[in-house]
Amino acid sequence: MNHTSHTRRLLAGGASLAIGTFAALAFAAPASAQDAAPYTAEEVLNERGVTVTGSAECDPEKYTWTVTWTVTNDSAETATIVGPEGSQPGDPVDPDITGLHHNDAFQPNEAKDGSQTVDSGVPSVTFEATLRWADEVGVEEFQTGSATVELGDCPRKPDPEPEPEPEPVAEPTIVVFSTCDLLGFIIDNSQGGGAATVTFTPDRTVTHGHASGFSYTVDGDNNVEIVIEEGAGIHEVLGDADGENPVVLGPFPAGADPHTHAFESADGLTVTVELAIDGEPVELKDNVTTWTAEGLDCPPDDEGEGGELPVTGSSTTLFVGGAGALLVLGGGLYLIARRRRVTFTA
């Protein structure tokens, strides 16, 4: 009897334990299901993303593409769009795009557009947008999306017409001549396009002045001949000039009659010539001329000391430059057409 009673107690205790365990599990299961439901919902809520798409339209009259970018908040939560580091609210998220600004709010699943204009010659454009989400305790999450738009054919802006070369300014002519008495210069700005100033710097002290009775002709072969009238010479002595006191003549206005200036001849006298048009210096090469009796029919005892005014010798002409600059050599005759970077040879 005692053995049977003990057995019955053990069976009753085991049954009670089983019933208690089952009951505990039965009550715990609904509680676990209730706890899991918000977690699953939170996972769905946290599926955040951003989509960027783009489209382009050609404007053939302006030779440009207008690209429309669309940014979509792929989330059930409000987000804000983020610009470059250091951006302030209202700053564009991209300097080339209008309509999208730093810290603009995007409501759940909201899409907003921005616009960009690019030249028709650009092959493609890409835009990248970043959205930011922040929870109640300030934890932030960032998602970035991007898109590239390939741009097709669109009329391109024609290359600008090259600016026409400025018309060359008609420039004065200087004829250099030698006689037994003089080293002279005829300044002819009758066909010039600007005011000409001429500076003569002799290498020694020499008397100079305005001269008259000299002119020149040019034939069809560009041969130059000095014409000397009876009584030609210095008619107004202006004094002495030297390296420290050069002779500055002009400005001679465009269209002015030729003017002749002369220096008394001296063996080896060298004069350097400088030109300016409307105050702008003109670069000359070999702009030095020297008086010599070579080629002149001067009496041996009168060279450089006065006498008649013969001008004889060769009239060889050298045609310089495409604009008709003339340079005459030989026989004491020199014709220098003033041009920038022209070679001045005496």
Handedness of CA 206, 210, 214, 218 (dihedral sign): positive
Q: Are 277 and 318 in a shared domain?
A: yes
Residues 304, 291 contacting (CB under 8 angstroms): yes
Q: How many residues does the chain have?
A: 346
Residue 101 lies in a domain: yes
* Tokens read off for 175: 């004829």
Q: Are 234 and 146 in a shared domain?
A: no
Q: Are 183 and 320 in a shared domain?
A: yes
pLDDT range class, residue 30, cuts 50, 70, 90: very low
Q: Are 331 and 193 in a shared domain?
A: yes
CA dist., res. 177 & res. 38, Å (int): 112
Q: Are 137 and 275 in a shared domain?
A: no
Number of domains in the chain: 2
- For residue 246, say if its preceding peptide bond is cis, omega within 30 degrees of 0: no
Q: Are 188 and 317 in a shared domain?
A: yes
Cβ neighbors of 141 (< 8 A, separation 6 or more) are 48, 132, 133, 134
Mean pLDDT, rounded, for 92-105: 94
Residue 304: pLDDT over 50 = no
Mean pLDDT, rounded, for 318-323: 26
The predicted pLDDT at position 46 comes to: 58
Average pLDDT, the chain: 78
The count of C-alpha atoms lying within 13 angstroms of the C-alpha of 19, restricted to the half-sphere facing its C-beta, is 6
Q: Are 217 and 101 in a shared domain?
A: no
Mean pLDDT, rounded, for 263-271: 94
Residue 178: pLDDT over 50 = yes
Residues 119, 63 contacting (CB under 8 angstroms): yes
Q: Are 179 and 133 in a shared domain?
A: no
Residue 248 lies in a domain: yes
- Nearest Cα neighbor of 268 from 210, 171, 183, 177 is 183
The pLDDT tens digits of the residues spanning 183-194 come to 999 999 988 778
Cβ neighbors of 32 (< 8 A, separation 6 or more) are none
Q: Please state which of the ranges 30-39, 61-70, 215-224 shows the lowest mean pLDDT.
A: 30-39
The predicted pLDDT at position 1 comes to: 47
The C-alpha R_g of the chain, in whole angstroms, comes to: 50
Tell me the β-bridge partners of 21: none
pTM as predicted: 0.47
222: exposed, middle or buried (Cβ count in 10 Å: 0-12, 13-18, 19+): middle
The CATH number covering residue 128 comes to 2.60.40
Residues 146, 52 contacting (CB under 8 angstroms): yes
Domain interval for residue 312: 173-343
Q: Please state which of the ranges 55-59, 137-141, 201-205, 269-273 shows the lowest mean pLDDT.
A: 137-141
Residues 99, 90 contacting (CB under 8 angstroms): no
Residue 127: pLDDT over 90 = yes
Q: Are 137 and 183 in a shared domain?
A: no
CA dist., res. 344 & res. 175, Å (int): 11
pLDDT range class, residue 16, cuts 50, 70, 90: low
Q: Are 116 and 234 in a shared domain?
A: no
Residue 102: pLDDT over 80 = yes
